[in-house]
Structures are given as C-alpha cells and as structure tokens.
Amino acid sequence: MAANLIRLNQGTDFGRTVVRALQLIREGVETLEHSRARYLQARDGDGSQDADYDLIATEGGFQAGDYADANAAAHASFLEIDSLFSKVGTDGNVSNVRSAILQACAKHGT
C-alpha cells in the first residue's frame, strides 16, 4: 500500500530541491491555466480569426515578427498555450508533454 505522505527534511539541500521542483510544476500548471483563461476572456468572437486577438495583441505588446501582423502573433501564442494546457491540464493519457513544453517555451523566447 502506498503512503499518503512522503516525509523528507525540507531543510536539506536535497529536500529543498525536490519540494521546490514540485512547487514550480504546480505553480506553472496553475499559471498556464490562468493565462489561457485571460486569452479566452479578452478575444473577440470565437477565436478562429487573427482579428479576434486585436485587444490581446495590443495589451500583450505582440509584434509581427514571423507572422503577418501582431494579431496573428497573438493568435499563434494562444494556440501554443492552448495546446500545451491540453497536455498538462488533463488526467488523461497524453504523449510528448516535454516536447510540448519545450516548443511553447522556444516559440515564446524562453
């Protein structure tokens, strides 16, 4: 039978590292969920058109870069965030989670 609580000394370097890693993961998933919700609330229409992201493009300071315009960049950003959240925000079986994380980070310059 698995234990309900794994006790470790968080005062040690090892314990601190383990706990901090888990805290960052939990915080990251929660922050990603909130970020996705902000996109959903701020876009116009159903979000299928680049023009639906004009407010987000302005508020987020998006720039055209490799995209046709700032709205297209904001739309692409949402699609990355949405895709990543679909992998980390579920209890279902998913694959390539690490790749999705690294791709979203790379596309956002982090």
- The mean pLDDT value for 35-51 works out to 97
All residues at 6 or more sequence positions from 75 whose CB lies less than 8 Å from its CB, including other chains: 47, 49, 50, 52, 53
What pLDDT score does 3 carry?
A: 77
Provide the mean pLDDT of the chain: 95
Overall residue count recorded for the chain in this entry? 110
Q: Which two tokens stand for residue 17?
A: 């590292």
Report whether pLDDT(53) > 80: yes
**pTM flag (> 0.85):** yes
C-alpha–C-alpha distance, residues 7 and 9, integer Å: 7
What pLDDT score does 8 carry?
A: 93
What pLDDT score does 45 carry?
A: 93
